Amino acid sequence: MPSPTQKNEEIVIGILLALSASHMINDMSQSLLQAIYPIVKDSFALSFTQIGIITLAYQLTASILQPFVGLFTDKRPLPYSLCFGMASTMSGLITLAYANSFHHLLLGAMLLGTGSSIFHPESSRMARTASGGRYGFAQSSFQIGGNAGTAIGPLLAAYVILPHGQQSIAWFASASLVAIVLLAIIGRWYTHHHLATARSTSKAPKISPYSKSVIIRSIVILLLLIFSKYFYMASLGSYYTFYLIERFNLDTHQAQLYLFAFLAAVAAGTFAGGPLGDNIGRKYVIWGSILGVLPFTLALPYANLFWTGILSVVIGCILASAFSAIIVYAQELIPGRTGMVAGLFFGFAFGMGGIGAAIFGTIADHKGIEYVYHLASYLPAIGILTIFLPNTKKHPR
């Protein structure tokens, strides 16, 4: 018979797996929006600017609410709110499936964004709670589910949505029902195994070992790094298929497979970043991820089809490794504000992705899609700012 300690460890691992699976379903649902862009662009005669506006509507809805959700739930955790968030995602899928105008597409995108804004801060807190002290590993385990879900989107578009049409998106609403059940189980675990104990125990407020000026400077730098990462990712996430179709004359099905390869590399890089940060220090992972990808982004616009595929995989893997490290790094800067920090950075990431997509869409309409990739290739140079971040393994105060 397993000891109580072993039993608790099994429960924690089960919660991490359930959170990762729920994150996969959530982000798979979200990724269907970008995966159907080639379909709706033709059927609704949309411009690249309108494609960017749809992404902006989704990303801003997902970003604006997240810090406020996180700040509120730091003081009053609402574990069952995750079920409500997933229900909003499900509603967004159904709206997209039966949309018959540009404005209906915007509504569906905003419902998807609202679901994400509720899901990410609270689920990120639960992953940290279930981590057993291995915060980077737990955050990466949680994140890889989301990135795997995002990577599945283009495959679903290629093999399900393209052959069966826009209304087939509604089929995936059933996956959201599965996620709602998982999230209800997670909410019950959090309430009975953590929240009840936390409420009955008096805890001293957690104080950061860093001065206020160091914290503010570091958060600003981290947000600038998020800006560079997600502005660049917007060029690949929203327009990569169009770039491949225009430059290399691929059909939509082939382009979706290349997009899947890129997103699969993002999932692999996400999982690697957290454990690496636990072992060698999160600052070094952030440094290597943002600045280290610069030579590959600079080379991408000049590559042939073969090397474009290789470089996009390398870029996705390296660039994605930063996010888990950035989240945990920021949580260590401001202890006791896990939900607020997660909401701030998830929200800012979504917002930057949306703004980047809108700006790049306008540029693509005026200068061409290839020009976007030349312009975006310099963004990772902002990673040089990592040198000004303190090393969280050493407490200065």
Centre a 10 Å sphere on the Cβ of residue 369 and count the other Cβ atoms it contains: 21
3-state DSSP call for residue 228?
Answer: helix
Query: Which pLDDT score, from 0 to 100, does residue 196 have?
Result: 52
CA distances from 52 to 125, 223, 227, 239, 252 (A): 31, 22, 17, 9, 19
Task: Count how many domains the chain has.
Answer: 1
Domain-embedded: residue 340 = yes
Q: What is the pLDDT of residue 337?
A: 77
Q: What is the pLDDT of residues 356-369, one digit of tens each?
A: 877 888 888 888 88
Which residues neighbour 225 within 8 Å (Cβ) at sequence distance 6 or greater?
286, 290, 322, 326, 382, 383, 385, 386
Q: Is residue 150 part of a domain?
A: yes
Q: For 53-68, what is each residue's pLDDT tens digit?
A: 888 888 778 777 777 7
Is 1 within the bounds of a domain? no
pLDDT of residue 3: 45
Q: Which secondary-structure segment (H or E) carries 98?
A: none
Q: What is the pLDDT of residue 8?
A: 43
In whole angstroms, give the CA distance from residue 390 to residue 395.
9
322 lies in some domain: yes
Of 65, 75, 187, residue with least CA distance to 126? 187
Tokens of 224: 């600038």
Instruction: CATH number of the domain at 67, please.
Output: 1.20.1250.20
Give the model's pLDDT for residue 21.
Answer: 92
Residue 3 located in a structural domain: no
Residue pLDDT tens, the chain, 397 long: 444 444 444 447 888 899 999 999 998 888 888 777 878 888 888 888 888 888 888 877 877 777 777 777 777 777 788 899 999 999 999 999 898 889 999 999 999 989 988 888 888 888 888 877 777 788 888 888 887 887 787 778 778 887 887 888 889 888 999 999 999 999 888 887 665 555 544 454 567 677 888 888 999 999 899 888 888 887 777 788 888 998 999 888 888 888 888 888 887 887 777 777 777 778 888 888 888 899 999 999 999 999 999 999 999 889 888 887 888 888 888 887 777 787 788 778 777 877 887 788 888 888 888 898 899 899 999 989 888 888 765 433 3
Residue 43 lies in a domain: yes
In-domain check, residue 59: yes
pLDDT at 310: 95
Is residue 332 within 8 A of residue 392, CB to CB? The reply is yes
CA gap 25, 19 in Å, rounded: 10
pTM score, two decimals? 0.67
Domain that holds residue 231: 9-388
CA distances from 34 to 1, 109, 153, 287, 342 (A): 49, 10, 8, 29, 24
Is the residue at 397 inside a domain? no
Tokens of 386: 């990592």
